[in-house]
């Protein structure tokens, strides 16, 4: 199937949502002044793509009301679904107050998924106080650790697994610095679906 050329222009999409519909900016990562240059979901400053709210294959129309502007990475991950509210739920759920923190937050979630513990609880369970000394240690070491990770060729972002790995290396450094031992991982733990 040949992909149909989208006729709706990016500026029409910004105008529709930010000047005609007055979408609630409070719940978004961007405001009207930035909506043409920053991804509406993650807030990063990248080339933006027109993303269907209701996919064309499900009857979504080529008109401003059926698009949002997302970076390439968010565009790949967006919900392709016939209920238009889901897109906004998804965009709003990921709202960030500071640009460029978005993917590190996702990295922290990935950490929790892999290691079954939040980064904060990891530190607490080691019996380490979260104080200025620790914060300074983290700041210095995060910078150093950035020399030990790499970007996939052609990908401008660190992927979530790399972020999670970076945090793990940091936790190992913290444990060592404070003379603590990380507990062994339980690879046999059961994951539940729907919580049961
Ligand atoms: Zn994005």
Can you give the pLDDT at residue 99? 57
* 61 shares its domain with 33: yes
Ligand 1 centroid distance, CA of 66 (Å)? 18
Can you give the pLDDT at residue 156? 61
**For residues 127 and 180, is the Cβ–Cβ distance under 8 A?**
yes
Neighbour-count burial for 26-44, b at 16+ CB within 10 Å, e otherwise:
eebbbeeebbeebbbbbbb
Ligand 1 centroid distance, CA of 71 (Å)? 4
* 19 shares its domain with 62: yes
* 24 shares its domain with 54: yes
Residue 187 lies in a domain: no
Can you give the pLDDT at residue 44? 86
* 88 shares its domain with 107: no
Kindly give the parts of the chain with pLDDT less than 70: 1-3, 96-100, 152-157, 195-196
**Euclidean distance between CA atoms 61 and 39, whole angstroms:** 21
* 57 shares its domain with 18: yes
* 85 shares its domain with 138: no
Ligand 1 centroid distance, CA of 73 (Å)? 6
Q: What residue numbers bound the domain in which 59 lies?
A: 10-93
Can you give the pLDDT at residue 100? 60
Can you give the pLDDT at residue 106? 84
Q: What is the pTM of this model?
A: 0.73
Residue 21 lies in a domain: yes
């Amino acid at each position: 199937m040949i992909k149909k050329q989208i006729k709706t222009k990016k500026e029409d999409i910004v105008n529709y949502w930010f000047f005609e519909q007055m979408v609630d900016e409070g719940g978004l990562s961007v405001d009207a002044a930035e909506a043409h240059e920053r991804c509406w979901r993650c807030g990063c400053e990248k080339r933006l793509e027109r993303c269907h709210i209701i996919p064309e294959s499900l009857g979504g129309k080529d008109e401003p009301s059926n698009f949002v502007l997302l970076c390439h990475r968010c565009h790949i991950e967006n919900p392709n679904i016939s209920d238009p509210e889901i897109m906004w739920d998804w965009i709003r759920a990921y709202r960030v107050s500071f640009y460029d923190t978005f993917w590190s937050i996702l990295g922290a979630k990935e950490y929790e998924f892999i290691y079954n513990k939040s980064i904060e609880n990891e530190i607490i369970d080691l019996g380490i106080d979260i104080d200025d000394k620790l914060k300074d240690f983290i700041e210095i070491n995060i910078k150093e650790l950035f020399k030990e990770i790499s970007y996939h060729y052609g990908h401008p972002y660190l992927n979530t697994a790399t972020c999670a790995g970076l945090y793990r290396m940091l936790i190992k450094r913290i444990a060592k610095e404070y003379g603590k031992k990380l507990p062994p991982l339980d690879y046999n733990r059961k994951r539940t679906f729907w919580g049961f």
